[in-house]
Structure 1
Amino acid sequence: MKKLVVKDRSQCQDCLTCEIACSEAFYKSYKLNTSCIKIDLKKDNSLNVKVCNQCGVCAKKCPEGAIKENAKGVYMINKKLCTGCLVCVESCPKGIIAKVEDKPTPSKCIACGICVDACPMGILDVQQG
């Protein structure tokens, strides 16, 4: 299975470079909550880097069957089958499926590595297995 992992959360500097890179890759601009990776604060005020672990909950909940696992273990949204109902957005346990108002379908992490390349601290990685 191919997935995005955080190697060392304690090294995150909250620069949002990963969020910006992801959002720009999907939507050509950055706005809050348009990234498929999220940096926020935990209850103890430490930083939390939320990434998709390709758990498949979104695929199981999608009423249209628009989210399928590919040969690499990455869950992908078929934009032709997606009706924009947002059940996947609501069901994502990490809250990291992004939906931009003027786009008909949401976006989810496809483990492309754009955020990995953007992170100045080198704390992200795309791993197989």
Structure 2
Amino acid sequence: MKKLAIRDQSACMFCLTCENACAQAFYKGENTQKQDLSCIHVLGTDVPNKFKITVCVQCGKCSKACEAGAITQNAQGVYMLNKKLCVNCGKCLEACPFGVMVKAEDKPSPTKCIACGICVKACPQDVLYIKEDAKEAAKATA
């Protein structure tokens, strides 16, 4: 199974480069408080200089919630959204336990992490990585 993972959350500097790289890749724009366009979230905590990173773990809850069948798992175990099949009901957004499925107000369908690695490459602290487990991927497609 291929998915985005966190290597060292304590190394996060809250620079939000990962969020902006994701937003730029999917929407050609910056992530802002007004419009959340990133499929990765970095949030402040009550502890100074400690941040909480939330990523898609490819759990499939969005797929189960999608009555249109627009979200399916590929051979690598990544849940992909087929925008042509999406009816924009928003059930996948509600079903995501991590709140990392996003939808721009001016777009017809939501976006989810596809484990592309753009955020990984953007992170100056090497906080993120793409985890690939062939055994889990084989189970997912069986």
Q: TM-score range by the shorter chain?
A: over 0.9
Give the TM-score of the pair, scaled to structure 2.
0.87
| Counterparts of 1:113 and 1:103, CA distance in 2 | 23
Q: 1:109 maps to which residue? A: 113
Identity fraction in percent: 53
Q: Matches of residues 7-86 of structure 1 in structure 2 within 5 Å?
A: 7-32=7-32, 33-42=36-45, 44=47, 46-86=50-90
Per the TM alignment, residue 30 of structure 1 is displaced from its structure 2 partner at its CA by 1.1
Report SS of the residue matched to 1:23: helix
Q: Answer yes or no: is 1:88 the counterpart of 2:76.
A: no
Letter in 2 for 1:76: M
The 1-side partners of 2:46 and 2:109 are apart by 31
How many angstroms apart in 1 are the aligned matches of 2:24 and 2:90? 21
Q: Distance in 2 between matches of 1:34 and 1:111?
A: 16
| TM-score, normalising length: structure 1 | 0.96
* Equivalenced residues, count: 129
Q: Name the aligned partner's letter for residue 19 of structure 1.
A: E
Larger Rg: 2
In the alignment, structure 1 segments of 5+ residues that lack a partner are none
Distance 2:43 2:117 in 1: 20
2:131 aligned residue:
127
**Residue 127 of structure 1: CA displacement?**
1.2
| 1:24 partner amino acid | Q
How far has the Cα of 1:20 moved from its partner? Answer: 0.2
Give the RMSD, CA atoms, in angstroms.
1.1
